[in-house]
Amino acid sequence: MQNHKQPKALYLLFFTEMWERFSFYGMKALLLAYMVTQIKFDEPKAYAILGSYAALVYTMPMFGGMIADKFLGYRKAIVFGGIIMSVGHFVLAIPQEWSFFYGMAFIICGNGFFKPNISSLVGTLYEENDVRRDSGFSLFYMGINIGAALGGLLCGYVGQKINWHYGFGLAGIFMILGLVVFVLGKNILQDKGLPPSEEVLKKPILSFIKTEHFIYLATLLLVPAVVFLFNQYSIMDYIMFGLGFLSFIYILWIGFKLDLESRNKLFAALVMIVFSVLFWAFYEQNSGSLNLFAMRNVNMTINGAELPALAINNFLPPGWVIILSIVFAWLWPWLNQKGKEPSTPLKFSLSFILMGIGFFVFYLACNNNIQTGLIPLWTFVLGYFFIIAGELCLSPIGLSMITKLSPTKIVGLMMGIWFFASAIGEFMAGKIGALMSVPEAVQNNSVASMPYYSSILSNIALGCLAVGVTLFLFVPLLKKWMKNIN
């Protein structure tokens, strides 16, 4: 008889990750609005910095994961990453411009160690064919979104309504809470996540410093380098698109060395990865341009009480994920039983179409309220419903797709490429957000700012729908390449 009860260690990691994501998304909720309203950066510059931050924060886990696999082990990497992120949050709480950049840099470096390795540690709790694995990861994913929803709501409220630096500080407090939970409960993990070799960690480098301490020191020295990239953010164009191009060519090179069936499956995955870059570029407006749109052009007043726009905008995406994840967890198996479950390429196509509908709802709301400059809150909530439904047709499906279509020897590499694609998408989101910039003279005038948002929202909606239809035309070819895999 199989045991369906989840390991106790899962709940330890659930709460650790929940509070860490609270801090991460709580801080992210404040970034763009803080740059524009407090530091007084012009909007194109603020979007460029936000895009660089998001790109780096999603790129660093590739390196943090490799370092943990080879040297630190998951536990040490999580604790070190958590400490560095905590420092970053509290540095952000210092009301100085220099502290803003250094705070973000610490968070980027810490996230590189924390984020990939806590997910990997969850995987070690199960044997290869353990039937509890999928439900365990689903529960873990739920913790991520609960933390994101609470963080966006509370930090968004505190930052916008009370004090911006209190909002950053609140994020830091919950990062510390997550770290304390992990350290106090580490005995539950037994032998999971330990370093592959303590001897290697103790081995001296340059004759005077141990390998472990060298890793920590090198990470701290990386912080000012990241700050430099923020101040010279045009360099990020060459870094992100250069690495993206090289990654694409490298996968093609690997593919042409495979047999025809394996090559076709790999190329099908590569095509969908390329499309995913565009998805994240559109989707990540939710933590960028839509923050400012919510503050300026969404009617947040209910029964005479004004809701904090940042809190609402950053609560809605993870809030809808929590609700709709339950729906999709039922929908796909139900359609499968009836022989009508969409293929992975078709789900990807649907993701763009649903997201396009969401942005079209925003556009219609703008167009219908052009005279007042404020759209009703319910239209904002409805638009996010479709956008998040689109996300759930791509994000969890993409992870599964990578494991099914990639040759066994390069699954890890392809998973890294998948996440790097989201980093490029996040970077491009900053470029798209800059197109939604509102001149400083009309930033506090809802009626005057509305046409700027209306125009770009319609273009984003059309862009999403065009990409969705284009991908739909590729579905027969991709299904042929995928052969017997749905």
Give just the sign of the alpha carbon dihedral 458, 459, 461, 465.
positive
Domain of 451?
235-486
pLDDT digits (tens, 9 = 90+) for 222-245: 999 999 988 887 888 888 889 889
N residues, the chain: 486
Same domain for 218 and 243, yes or no, is no
Same domain for 342 and 244, yes or no, is yes
DSSP code string of 261-292: HHHHHHHHHHHHHHHHHHHHHHHGGGGTHHHH
pLDDT digits (tens, 9 = 90+) for 415-433: 778 888 888 999 999 999 9
Sequence-ordered alpha helix ranges (H) in 93-132: 97-123
Same domain for 473 and 331, yes or no, is yes
Count structural domains, the chain: 2
What is the phi/psi pair of residue 61, to 5°? -60, -25
pLDDT of residue 3: 60
Distance between CA atoms of 408 and 404, rounded to whole angstroms? 9
Same domain for 250 and 184, yes or no, is no
pLDDT of residue 116: 81
Distance between CA atoms of 326 and 4, rounded to whole angstroms? 19
**Does residue 369 come out as left (phi exceeding 0), alpha (psi in the -120 to 50 range) or beta?**
alpha
CA 11 vs CA 125, 174, 413: distances in Å: 11, 17, 29
Outline where DSSP puts E strands in 107-253.
204-205, 209-210
Same domain for 108 and 163, yes or no, is yes
Contact 271, 478 (CB under 8 A): yes
The residue-averaged pLDDT of 134-146 equals 82
Same domain for 214 and 173, yes or no, is yes
How many other CB atoms are found less than 10 A from the CB of residue 242?
10
Same domain for 390 and 251, yes or no, is yes
Same domain for 172 and 245, yes or no, is no
Q: Higher-confidence residue: 459 or 61? A: 459
Which of 233, 250, 282 is the C-terminal boundary of a domain?
A: 233
Same domain for 30 and 62, yes or no, is yes
Lowest average pLDDT, out of 26-35, 53-62, 386-395, 452-461, goes to 53-62
The residue-averaged pLDDT of 293-322 equals 92
CA contacts within 13 A on the Cβ side of 67: 28
pLDDT digits (tens, 9 = 90+) for 327-376: 888 888 888 888 888 888 999 999 999 999 999 999 999 999 999 999 99
Q: How confident is the model at residue 134 (pLDDT cuts 50, 70, 90)?
A: low
Distance between CA atoms of 298 and 453, rounded to whole angstroms? 11
Same domain for 30 and 129, yes or no, is yes
Q: Is 258 helix (H, G, I), strand (E, B) or coil?
A: coil
Which CATH number belongs to the domain containing residue 241 in this structure?
1.20.1250.20
Same domain for 36 and 133, yes or no, is yes
Residue found by looking up tokens 């020295």 in the block? 221
pLDDT of residue 339: 87
Which of 233, 265, 292 is the C-terminal boundary of a domain?
A: 233
Which amino acid makes up residue 121?
L
Instruction: Determine the straight-line distance between the first and last CA of the chain, rounded to whole angstroms.
Output: 31
Tell me: pLDDT of 326 over 90.
no
pLDDT digits (tens, 9 = 90+) for 165-219: 999 999 999 999 999 999 999 889 888 888 888 787 788 887 778 888 898 999 9
Percent of the chain with pLDDT over 70: 98
Q: Tell me 341's DSSP state.
A: P
Q: Higher-confidence residue: 257 or 377? A: 377
Which of 195, 217, 233 is the C-terminal boundary of a domain?
A: 233
Same domain for 79 and 132, yes or no, is yes
